[in-house]
Structure 1
């Protein structure tokens, strides 16, 4: 016997699905007609602007008020520019510049680009306060380590995005910035009392609520004092008592991807995770990136079964679907896209570069890019100085494996520019830098979260606060190496 059509439609109204490839398959469009709230676009869905516009038009043929979401943060997390790197610096660079008007402009520009392509929900900005230098998943996605600065820029980012008619989604509540684990792979724990969260992690969320943010994303993190053994995504104390009652948020609560280990392992699968998130007060459930029709059907069946056996109250699911529909209705109304100043992102990235030491006289150096892995959030997006160099030799190196003597021989009499991401926590990288600096003039370009580490004996330490295309061009320009 099939599912009750009304309950199936109700369950679908709480789901953000996804699909593979650049063309929406029939099932993805058919589900929209059946009531699915929307889809999230990932890099695999995006080839070029014309194709994306055709994609969003095809999805709207399924239902005009579909939510079409994307993770477009600028900086290191980009889907539209995943093949080249973003033309905008990310939050860490904007926080370093500390010009809230610039932050609003950059996010308004991102919003205008999304709106022109038919995308109406940006799963951004990241408003986490990055207080852990070793944080493997936030880092340069954060406006910084100071709650007041992060709060001011978070509000500006929300205002910028939403001025273009694109709904903003502030993430990751109640704050992922103090973690040293990645919730894509495990359930991180932030073992602090609520008073510490209120002082350190929550001010940016208060600021975006005041700024009228349309959506807030949950964090798959465990805060024992509030969430017990499970993640915040499954906690009514976090989503209802804290976010809604204490901070007064009235918009849509969106889950981080339920396929992530921080949620799926804690619940015993994506379907049970969906039920627990809805029961806790979430409204729109992001299933994840690897989604097909069978997975959507499975999640729907789990929700309908939970309605039947009492694990879920129908009024709660109706409330969730209603908030998702309100979010879509707001996005359909649109905004007013301001004209983006030419080269806005590149000029902003240049303002963010910080130089400690002397970078004069870098004529024809050997540029060494140190290999760094990418997080799931970032994906494999090109980074570094390579695309911006004019007549300069560049080689790749693997920290802990590359012999410094080989690089010395290759450099000869030339100075060395060593480019990396998160060098302070990359095994073997500080040792490689120090070994080279003992015999050569070495300039270090840090394109990740800089932390407190500085190399011994280096001639200069250059911080870009991100590894976007804009950040790479800015670094090459500051070093006098740009073409």
Structure 2
């Protein structure tokens, strides 16, 4: 195989438009994969249409981020129909987790998408983590391990390859690698105890791919982020753990890698360190693809990157493309899982249609612009909000006679949301807070609260049910 095709074979590319541009059509058969992002999918109907086009007509392996809950691409505008990992971990029923993952896999496979950049296997030991939170099954390594394995088994039973992320762990950081380079300050013993077990469980379950984290773990390698660390990717992941599937980088444009090495420089360093597939975001499209491809070719030419290493990487991605599992019928267990995981405290049944105060904080880049809607589920139960306002409408909302419901995400973590909630409580002690973020009832002063652990459609449906029925 020529070097140009080898370089294409390790690239997971994105594009900015809705319709795949001409360069994607030309490159697709040789690419490692084409990744669909939220901006490619303005409606829920676009994922299956584009997935089939790219896979059946263009000959591409199609990938996406479909974790369920807050991180969804198939339902980017309307919200995921299944809850995310926090709910599944709170329920702690591995059969339910397997069923939810199988449902996701079945929907992906039907849409022509055969590679899912999920599950999140991070152990969220720090509740202030700005990027993981409800994307994690929890803070207990044993719980996260069993649910990571169950999720992998459920997804891959539907014939969709899973990718456990973010190795060696992104759950003990207070920085978001989309914006800066986080450092994990655990000792090696703490890392082995708290963060390694879920990845071991994923490998044991037969996971087809593992995604790297743009984080520095000084106890393992003090020099650079894990994505470009030979010690972490080759010595530990390959040598010690025996993983022989595809090692995928997190997106190379993320500041955690880009600001130190540049996108092209980070790509070459990742391959040299032991990564197999280089993930590119949507922005930049063909220009970004050619920049990274040219850097790989130049690195082979000057022997910075041994051609044997490139061949090894491309072969692993080729084997992933060939892999196919047998699809079996999926169970729809998501809504029941969300019901079992939800927490309601001090909530009386709504006396009538409420005023809804929405506190919409800018989400992290993993979530993107995906929306959430509590008004719709309330309307479906016969309690359509009298009106919906933002933070600037609080005074008028609390002055009237209607019940007041405040909904936000991680309210306790954001000063402005906490301040708004305090203002509402001062005027209307009967107001109820619905928090869609990581449940932290200890920080909410004993107020009436509904905590649903995510912004997927099942979470919001359950929130509406608890508001209507009380607790």
- When normalised by structure 2's length, the TM-score is 0.94
Pair 1:462 & 2:450 matched: yes
1:95 is aligned to 89
Aligned to 2:356: 367
Q: Check whether the contact 2:344–2:449 (CA below 8 A) recurs between aligned residues.
A: yes
Partner of 2:276: 283
Question: Which ranges of structure 2 fall in alignment gaps of 5 or more residues?
Answer: none
Q: How does 1:263-302 map to 2 (within 5 A)?
A: 263-267=257-261, 269-302=262-295
In structure 2, do the counterparts of structure 1 residues 418 and 75 end up closer, same or farther at CA, with 3 Å as the change threshold?
same
Which of 36, 41, 64 is equivalent to 2:36?
41
- The worse-fitting range, judged by mean Cα deviation, of 179-188 and 389-398 is 389-398
Shift in Å at residue 481 of structure 1?
A: 7.3
**Contact 1:424/1:450 (<8 A) preserved:** no
- TM superposition shift of 1:192: 1.8
Residues in 1 aligned to 2:406 and 2:58: alpha-carbon distance in whole angstroms: 51
Shift of 1:50: 5.6
- CA displacement at 1:470 relative to structure 2: 1.6
Superposition deviation, residue 403 in structure 1: 7.6
Partner of 1:443: 432
Identify unmatched segments of 5+ residues in structure 1. Answer: none
Please give the alpha-carbon distance, in whole angstroms, between the structure 2 residues aligned to 1:176 and 1:393: 42
- Deviation (angstroms), 1:356: 2.2
- Paired with 2:401 and 2:456, the residues of 1 have a C-alpha distance of 31
Deviations 1:205-252 (A, max 9, x none): 111111000000000011122232311000011111111222221110
Note the alpha carbon deviations across 1:104-136, whole angstroms, 9 max, x for none: 000000000000011000000001111111111
Distance 1:170 1:435 in 2: 42
Q: Does 1:23 align with 2:19?
A: yes
* Aligned pairs (5 A) from 1:338-377: 338-341=329-332, 344-377=333-366
Q: Is the 8 A contact 1:68 1:119 kept in 2?
A: yes
CA distance, structure 2, for counterparts of residue 225 and residue 320 of structure 1: 27
Give the alignment's Cα RMSD to 1 decimal: 2.0
Where does residue 409 of structure 2 map in the other structure?
421
Say if 2:51 is the partner of 1:56: yes
Does 2:10 correspond to 1:14?
Answer: yes
Per-residue CA deviation, residues 360-411 of structure 1 (Å, 9 max, x unaligned), is 354333322212111111111221411112232243333xxx48544421xx
2:140 aligns with 146
1:174 is aligned to 2:168: yes
Structure 1: how far apart are the matches of 2:426 and 2:50?
54
Secondary structure of the corresponding residue to residue 445 of structure 1 = strand
What's the TM-score, normalizing by structure 1?
A: 0.92
